[in-house]
């Protein structure tokens, strides 16, 4: 799908929260409407890795990011884990694309098994059944055979597995440069223009 306008972004409890938060920032900067979902463990990881306190209340989180990024009304909508009347819970009103970044192996396994025990899993299930883009960004090492089999199952179902494996040909100077490499690749797969990193062959 070219130039998606509405994107569901899910943050789960894997290490790598800077990737997800930077992606949120870039999507909003590019004028996309974002539906944000996050797990309980994502709140813990955000605090540990970024000193970022994500409130348990979806409305409080929405207000926090609205203040931080000075957003237009309705550009960001945050939904609770069991908010089953959210648009993302139904194939009649899906987002144009969905990204789970970072994605735990537990969330990945649940999606591969077709489970929908929370809104993140249900939203991902909707994307697959409606043949909409679903990008999963696992941050784990090493992968077990179970992890790899689940990933293969999801790829065969139409998902894109995009591990948070930064490259170094752009000569990163900071941690932010490394984060931006992964976020740039996600944006590429969403067909969203960006200037986060120099592209291969364009380096000076």
Close Cβ partners of 96 (under 8 Å, ≥ 6 residues apart): 1, 4, 5, 6, 7, 132, 133
d(CA 20, CA 38): 10
Helix H or strand E segment including 38:
strand 33-38
d(CA 194, CA 114): 33
Torsion of CA 38, 44, 48, 52, to 10 degrees: 50
| CATH architecture under which domain 6-189 falls | 3-Layer(aba) Sandwich (3.40)
pTM: 0.95
Q: Note the pLDDT tens digit of each residue in 192-203.
A: 999 898 888 776
What are the structural domain ranges in the chain? 6-189
Per-residue pLDDT of the chain (204 residues; tens, 9 = 90+): 566 799 999 999 999 999 999 999 999 999 999 999 999 999 999 999 999 999 999 999 999 999 999 998 899 999 999 999 999 999 999 899 999 999 999 999 999 999 999 999 999 999 999 999 999 999 999 999 999 999 999 999 999 999 999 999 889 999 999 999 999 999 999 999 998 988 887 765
d(CA 9, CA 135): 10
Q: Note the pLDDT tens digit of each residue in 24-36.
A: 999 999 999 999 9
């Amino acid at each position: 799908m070219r130039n998606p306008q509405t994107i569901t972004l899910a943050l789960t409890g894997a290490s790598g929260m800077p990737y997800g938060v930077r992606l949120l920032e870039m999507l909003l900067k590019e004028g996309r409407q974002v539906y944000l979902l996050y797990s309980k463990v994502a709140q813990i990881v955000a605090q540990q890795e970024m000193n970022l306190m994500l409130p348990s209340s979806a409305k409080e989180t929405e207000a926090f990011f609205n203040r931080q990024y000075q957003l237009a009304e309705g550009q960001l909508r945050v939904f609770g884990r069991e908010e089953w009347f959210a648009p993302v819970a139904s194939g009649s009103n899906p987002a144009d694309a969905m990204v789970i970044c970072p994605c735990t192996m537990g969330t990945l396994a649940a999606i591969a098994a077709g489970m929908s025990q929370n809104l993140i899993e249900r939203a991902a299930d909707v994307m697959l059944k409606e043949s909409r883009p679903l990008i999963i960004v696992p941050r784990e090492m090493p992968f077990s055979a179970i992890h790899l089999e689940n990933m293969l199952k999801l790829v065969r179902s139409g998902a894109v597995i995009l591990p948070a494996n930064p490259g170094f040909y752009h000569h990163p100077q900071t941690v932010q440069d490394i984060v931006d490499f992964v976020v740039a690749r996600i944006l590429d797969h969403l067909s969203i223009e960006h200037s986060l990193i120099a592209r291969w062959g364009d380096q000076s």
